[in-house]
Amino acid sequence: MAELEGLEFGKSDFVLLDEVTMEQFMENLRLRFEKGRIYTYIGEVVVSVNPYRQMDIYGKDTIEAYRGRELYENPPHLYAVSDAAYKAMKRRAKDTCIVISGESGAGKTEASKYIMQYIAAITNPSQRAEVESVKNVLLKSNCVLEAFGNAKTNRNDNSSRFGKYMDINFNFNGDPTGGHINNYLLEKSRVVHQQEGERNFHSFYQLLRGGSEETLAAFHLQNDPAVYVYTKEGAATVTSNNDRTSHKAVISALEVIGFSKEEINSIYQILASILLLGNLQFESDGESVQILGQEAVNQISELTATEPESVSKTLLYRTVACFGFITALYERLFGWIVGRINTVIEVKDYNPVLHGKNTVIGVLDIYGFEIFDNNSFEQFCINYCNEKLQQLFIELILQQEQAEYQREGITWQHIDYFNNQIIVDLVEQPHKGIISILDEACLTVGNVTDTVCLDSMDTKLAQHPHYTSRKLSPSDKSMEFQKHFRIRHYAGDVTYSVEGILDKNKDLLFQDFKRLMYNSTNPVLKEMWPDGQLSITEVTKRPLTAATLFKNSIVALVDKLACKEPYYVRCIKPNEMKSPMLFDDARCQHQVAYLGLLENVMVRRAGFAYRQPYARFLQRYKMTCEYTWPNHLMASDREAVEAIVTQHGFQDDVAYGHTKLFVRTPRSLFTLEQERAALIPILVLFLQKVWRGALARMRCRRMRAIYAIMGCYKRYKVKAHFWEVERRFANVRNMADYGKSVEWPTPPAALAQFHKNTVMLHRRWWARQIVKKIPPSDMLEVRAKVAALTALSGERKDWGISRAWERDYLANARDCPQTSSGFIRVSKELRNKDEYSQVLFSGFCRKVNRFNKSTDRSLLVTDKFVYKLEPKKQYKVMKRLPLDAFTGLSLTSGVDQMVVLHTSSEDDVLLCLQRGVLCPNQDRVGELVGALVDHFTRCNFTVDHLQLTVQQPAVQLHMRGKLKSVTVETKPGQAAADFKKSRDGFILLFPGN
């Protein structure tokens, strides 16, 4: 830390002073202030001097520089102590708090805002929407509470006129999940009276100067604060606050927090009502009191949603209590706003089992010690609060620390310090303290005045060294008889006035005022006054006085802070002129003295920065020593801790207590944290490796079990399928259709291919059983029909499957009796000559040549040659072509008998088969195709050798190498098919029905 800043900036930690004296302390503080170093450490306590100017040390780069760093790694800063509190909360799951103290105008409010901004900036790295919402509400609440709870005083342009303590709840990840705000002793008397040069609360001026014309007109207001009694004192005061801009920011903040438009409107209606009430005028004729101007009453009635008659009656009946009603109205408004914010940010339905431990960081920003020319009940309570906080500081930092050294047997030289317990007792001691005397006076029956109360205090506290009055010190003319008393506070002597002190302590508000507000039709206003539902005849328990209520709340606050690990920001006001250049030595020295900063330096310098029970220290750092990881075998935890310290060479920087280890400097602890941080990834990887191995083995066992179950199940399904197939097909041999009608069971996925093969085997077996019954003489026809079915199925509708195929039609006497004998003779001659063994097909046809001449011919197809015969010349062979010279057949999809026989020489044969005389509807094209395809298949020709093409309406062919086209036309009434020459080929005239 010290080496990060040069010597020209002084010592960044007062513990590093060469000599701990007030002179050296003040010299170091002045030097750092003049050099722009407004923050200085006392160990982990931050001393902050108000710079009275904007400083460029709070940006994003600065936040990143302090994020996750140890306290002394960077120059002193609010961010460092904020990060230290956050790390302590997150690492040790321990509640922490940051206590900001100092005089009014020392910069406490600004410090709390920077702390909140830092915590918001370093949390929620995953940008979860619900966490961002909580952060926004926490940040925006500052803006709202400042507007309604802060005011300009002669000491401070933005003075907190209330105390605020905020608890921020964090989940186990360290992300904020909610919070709660406690407010203490709003200075409500400021609403009706301000000292010269001061202002009312900011909210009034923001409304009057920032509200739109329509809004002000609806509220019956003008945009000039000088018009209203309660704001005219500060109307001409120049402040650093831009009221118009601030008003817009407050409206936006209220909307972000979750206030509805109706609630926001109700808030400013109440402010407008207070301003109008302040301008009411009364007149008296000696017996009765009247309100001047009914219009103002009507306006107040409209804004409060009450009846005008009720407003007039209430104000006239209790005219003397009107100021109390107005201050109570603002106080209830402020309390309702705080409560409404809490309903938004409080953690609801939190389950530690599900969400992990809920830890808290508390931030206390409370009014500073005040000494005015006229100090009344409010200043008495404020200064008592500061006494309690100073007592807490003394107990935690000075008293408890020294007591712990003695308890643990650590060698220690006692350091004297001022203990303000005697002043705290003077104020709050039961039956003897000032608050008890005030309460007793308020409860006494009869006319007990402020003067009588002062006499009672003088009587009971006459011997107290820190109390005096003019009666007890007649020669002290700075006090007046029957008016003043003085308390010697830790921060200086303060003279208080008793005028009105009993009325302020009673804080009575008559029931008719409460009923008036409770009977309002405005739900927000009605909610603020639940006690107004009591009737005037109902007897209620006497309420606690204002001082007792405040004392109880402060005692509860101190108890809440005492159970947390505290971090302190001690704010110092450098001058009364709000100058960024002036450093008032006497003023600052006074603050250093009553804040106990010098004693804090002495205790810190002589003491130890860190202490921890042996077991917890060992649990956190045992991984850094080979003798203690994972578990030590030594006699006690203390010996194990000594082994860790010895291994790292910190023997001279520690002390061993009875139950705790004490570490003198943070640097030793930081070294341990660095080594631990370096080892954690290694351990994490090791644990991940072991756990991943365990998970892999678990998954492997599960997978093996799964596969075993799957295997058994698959085997069962396979067997079940086999059993079902066997059951269904057990008797197929005796069935008429050999099981063709039997439905196959759905196979399991594993048997899909096997099922297909089984079905195919059954079909083949079924076909075999059918084929076995066919006579050998019919087999040629069957094979031809099967071949034609395969080739023409789906391509040609009619192909003669339903009739008997005779193949050799020319030799059939039934077809052509007059010519069959001649053909048989020629066929025998050709068989002897060409040695073919089988006639595949024969029949009459009409053939066309390239010259467009069509003639009747006979076609003979054998297993070796194709013959074109002349039937009129005793079947003379006109042309003979080898069968293997043909490459394909073309035909149409209709009922015509046209066939094109394609040859390898591109000299194709075009012909039209003629139907038989006895059976004129015979379709012989399918028979020709079937015979050729069956023959080519059985003779092991390649599939591509004989290509079958089915086209519609025209087919393509080559004659002597030239491409021709043949189109089919139906001609009704024609006896036989005939060819006709066309422009680019031929037209087959096919007879119609």
The CATH number of the domain holding residue 630 is: 3.30.70
Same domain, 955 and 833: yes
Active site residue 104: yes
Same domain, 856 and 913: yes
Q: What is the mean pLDDT of residues 333-349?
A: 87
Residue 494's SS3 state is strand
Q: What is the mean pLDDT of residues 319-337?
A: 81
629: left (phi over 0), alpha (psi -120 to 50) or beta: beta
Number of domains in the chain: 5
| Annotated active-site residue in 109, 150, 420, 600 | 109
Q: With CA atoms as reference, report the closest residue to 480 among 406, 374, 609.
A: 374
CATH of the domain at 201: 1.20.120.720
| Any domain includes 743 | yes
Active site residue 469: no
Longest dimension (CA), the chain: 172
The residue that leads in pLDDT, 789 or 352, is: 789
In this structure, how many other beta carbons lie within 10 angstroms of the beta carbon of residue 302? 17
CA 42/CA 57 separation, integer angstroms: 20
Q: Is the pLDDT of residue 350 over 60?
A: no
| Any domain includes 860 | yes
Same domain, 926 and 976: yes
Residue 960: per-residue pLDDT: 84
- Reading the block at residue 402, the tokens are 């020294």
Residue 138: per-residue pLDDT: 86
Q: With CA atoms as reference, report the closest residue to 151 among 267, 243, 215.
A: 243
Same domain, 767 and 835: no
Same domain, 637 and 494: no
Same domain, 331 and 433: no
Residue 414: per-residue pLDDT: 66
CA 898/CA 949 separation, integer angstroms: 12
Residue 209: per-residue pLDDT: 92
841: left (phi over 0), alpha (psi -120 to 50) or beta: beta
Main-chain phi, psi angles of 782, to 5 degrees: -60, -45
> Residue 102, annotated ligand binder?
yes
Q: What b/e readout covers 791-828, taking b as 16+ CB neighbours within 10 angstroms?
A: bbeeebeebbeeeebbbbbbbbeebbeebbebbeebbe
Main-chain phi, psi angles of 362, to 5 degrees: -100, 140
One-letter amino acid of 76: P
Which residues on adjacent β-strands are paired with residue 283? 290
Same domain, 657 and 766: no
Same domain, 886 and 980: yes
Residue 2: per-residue pLDDT: 40
Same domain, 315 and 444: no
In this structure, how many other beta carbons lie within 10 angstroms of the beta carbon of residue 656? 16
The boundaries of the domain holding residue 336 are 130-156+186-357
Q: What is the mean pLDDT of residues 5-11?
A: 74
| Annotated active-site residue in 74, 160, 495, 862 | 160
Residue 3: per-residue pLDDT: 45
Q: What is the pLDDT of residues 695-753, one digit of tens each?
A: 999 999 999 999 999 989 989 999 999 999 999 999 988 888 888 889 999 998 888 99
Active site residue 368: yes
| Annotated active-site residue in 50, 74, 153, 156 | 156
| Any domain includes 244 | yes
Band of the pLDDT at 130, cuts 50, 70, 90?
A: confident
Residue 819: per-residue pLDDT: 64
CA 278/CA 794 separation, integer angstroms: 104
Residue 536: per-residue pLDDT: 57
Q: Is the pLDDT of residue 619 over 80?
A: yes
Which segments of 188-238 are extended strands (E)?
A: none
DSSP-H helix ranges across 563-665: 585-594, 597-606, 614-621, 637-648
Q: What is the mean pLDDT of residues 129-140?
A: 86
* CB-count exposure of residue 746 (10 Å: 0-12, 13-18, 19+): exposed
Percent of the chain at pLDDT above 70? 91
| Any domain includes 98 | no
| Annotated active-site residue in 40, 101, 159, 600 | 159
> Residue 107, annotated ligand binder?
yes
Residue 427: per-residue pLDDT: 94
CATH of the domain at 866: 2.30.29.30
Q: What does the mean pLDDT of the chain come to?
A: 85
Q: What is the mean pLDDT of residues 858-862?
A: 92
| Annotated active-site residue in 44, 370, 387, 781 | 370
> Residue 68, annotated ligand binder?
no
Active site residue 520: no
Residue 646: per-residue pLDDT: 85
Active site residue 159: yes
The residue that leads in pLDDT, 913 or 512, is: 913
CA 519/CA 540 separation, integer angstroms: 19
- Residue at which a domain ends, from 632, 654, 687: 687
| Any domain includes 883 | yes
Q: With CA atoms as reference, report the closest residue to 99 among 438, 389, 310.
A: 389
Residue 428: per-residue pLDDT: 93
| Any domain includes 582 | no
Q: How many residues does the chain have?
A: 993
Q: Which of 159-168, 319-328, 730-739, 842-851 has the lowest mean pLDDT?
A: 319-328
> Residue 105, annotated ligand binder?
yes
| Any domain includes 136 | yes
> Residue 973, annotated ligand binder?
no
Q: Is the pLDDT of residue 944 over 60?
A: no
Q: Which of 220-229, 354-363, 500-509 has the lowest mean pLDDT?
A: 354-363
Q: What is the pLDDT of residues 543-601, one digit of tens each?
A: 788 899 889 999 998 888 888 888 999 999 999 888 999 999 999 998 898 888 888 88
Q: Is the pLDDT of residue 261 over 90?
A: yes
| Annotated active-site residue in 10, 43, 105, 930 | 105
| Any domain includes 74 | no
Same domain, 330 and 396: no
Residue 510: per-residue pLDDT: 67
Same domain, 222 and 331: yes
- Residue at which a domain ends, from 687, 718, 752: 687
Q: What is the mean pLDDT of residues 662-671?
A: 75
CATH of the domain at 434: 1.20.58.530
Q: What is the pLDDT of residues 405-441, one digit of tens each?
A: 778 877 766 666 677 889 999 999 998 899 999 999 8
Active site residue 141: no
Residue 918: per-residue pLDDT: 45
Residue 1: per-residue pLDDT: 40
Same domain, 326 and 426: no
Q: Is the pLDDT of residue 945 over 70?
A: no
Q: What is the mean pLDDT of residues 611-618?
A: 82
